[in-house]
Amino acid sequence: MTNAADVRVWAVVPAAGIGERMASDCPKQYLELGGRSILEHALRRVAGHPRVRGVLPVIREGDPFWPGVRRRLGDLARLLPEVPGGASRQDSVGQGLAGLEPLAPEDLVLIHDAVRPCLGEAEIDAVIDAARDGHGSILAVPVADTLKRVTDGQQIEATVDRSQLWRAQTPQVFPAGPLKAALEMAREREWPATDEASIMEAAGYTVGIAPGRVDNLKITRPEDLSIARAVLESRWSG
Ligand code: CTP
Ligand code: MG
């Protein structure tokens, strides 16, 4: 078993998406909540955690919005130089990992969406702790709604048992060696994936979960903004 103080934790924040579903004038990670862009919130949340050694933002090449955010971050401790993203989230995370060289295989890599600004310190601790002695862990919450299968977009075909279903969030934390191997396998075999855990699972690793909070929202659609604003205000007074 590893001692908590011995494990090095590095963070990658993929922020190279275009936010198609949000359909705003700028990519959604640059929308403001309480006077700060969503990306700035996310980077500050992760960089401010005492167990994180460095945070690497992954930014779309030529992104005109990043320089302003970078300036506002100023001399934020542990912020590493950004690297260019790729066409898919998976590619962007791969680029981030490559940018963290030299990484020891046993170092932990924490991946956190740029569009989850409402992440607390306790949740970061929980997911790191759960990842330390295995092949990784993710924050997740049990599904609360009743689930319906609708194949034609109109009529209910079945009610799906939700008792064993969890919603995956980020951070997702994995040892660097297995994560690199799994990402490489996914690239070669063209596995589609919306998170890193699914790639680790497909590569045969066992990934744990750390129970998270429902208010660690992923900003996806316009209606998510007012909810996130309220969460930020109630948890951190804006
Ligand atoms: N992401 C990335 N590189 C990509 C695609 C996505 O770094 N090529 C990042 C996004 O910036 C975001 C995270 O992955 O921080 C989660 O993705 P998602 O919420 O799907 O963001 P978008 O892909 O930007 O949104 P959409 O799918 O609606 O276009
Ligand atoms: Mg996307």
Starting from the CA of residue 39, give the closest ligand.
1
Rounded CA-CA distance 219/113 in Å is: 10
pLDDT tens for the 238 residues of the chain, in order = 455 567 999 999 999 999 999 999 999 999 999 999 999 999 999 999 999 999 999 999 999 999 999 999 999 999 999 999 999 999 999 999 999 988 999 999 999 999 999 999 999 999 999 998 889 999 999 999 999 999 999 999 999 999 999 999 999 999 999 999 999 999 999 998 999 999 999 999 999 999 999 999 999 999 999 999 999 999 998 5
Work out the number of other CB atoms within 10 angstroms of the CB of residue 50: 9
Query: CA of 44: how far to CAs of 119, 150, 154, 210, in Å?
Result: 10, 39, 42, 22
Structure tokens at 212: 């998270």
What is the Cα Rg of the chain in Å?
18
What domains are there in the chain, each with its CATH number? 9-236 (3.90.550.10)
Closest atom of ligand 1 to 115 CA is 15
Closest by CA to 110, choosing from 182, 194, 170, is 170
Q: Identify which of 115, 119, 198 to mutate to test ligand 1's pocket (most ligand atoms within 8 A of the CB).
A: 115
Starting from the CA of residue 224, give the closest ligand.
1
Helix (H, G, I), strand (E, B) or coil at 222: coil
